[in-house]
Amino acid sequence: MSNPSDQLSVDYDQVHQSTQNLSASSGAAQSTHSTVDTVVGYQTSQKWGTQPGPTTFQSQYSGTLADLQGQIATVRANIDGLNDGVTKVASSSDDTDSQAATAIKNITNGVAAIESAAPVPGNTTPDSEQVQQTINENTLIQGVINSDGASTGATDAPTTTSASQPAGGSM
């Protein structure tokens, strides 16, 4: 059975459509907030009068409308936050995909270079130039692997190596 995380992918067209829908929902929430604000503005003593019953109802009604405005503002902020989060995740996924492709290409090129520097049958010792090139390419590959997706090489590559002495230290 296949692991679902092995098949993780992002449908960028769907993400774009979803972010457009979220933006439209945010706009609708803003419009509703403005409409409620207008209705709150109509709640005056001229409309309700000055009798105790209607003014008490007006006060309760205006308070409820103000609460509704607060809730609409919260929903809109949540929609905008979700939209920003979805956009960032999609962008990050796209960046990670391209960084992974670059890293794989660099590793593949490094492996090919290492294979080309391997001793030819009958010639048991590669020359010092081949050894140095292989060390530099291994260091570059290690820099790619250690760098959280950024394609950078390490800067502490050895500058000289003798063919009679292994790169890792003395015999």
| pLDDT higher than threshold 90 for residue 68 | yes
> What total number of domains does the chain contain?
1
- Is 81 contained in some domain? yes
- Is 151 contained in some domain? no
Write out pLDDT tens, residues 109-156.
766 666 665 555 554 555 556 666 666 666 655 555 555 554 444 444
Q: What is the pLDDT of residue 155?
A: 45
| DSSP character string of 153-169 | --S---S---TTS-TTS
Report how far residue 119's alpha carbon sits from residue 117's, in angstroms, rounded to the nearest whole number.
Answer: 6
How much is the pTM? 0.51
- Is 117 contained in some domain? yes
When pLDDT is cut at 50, 70 and 90, the band that residue 36 belongs to is very high
| pLDDT higher than threshold 80 for residue 87 | yes
- Is 162 contained in some domain? no
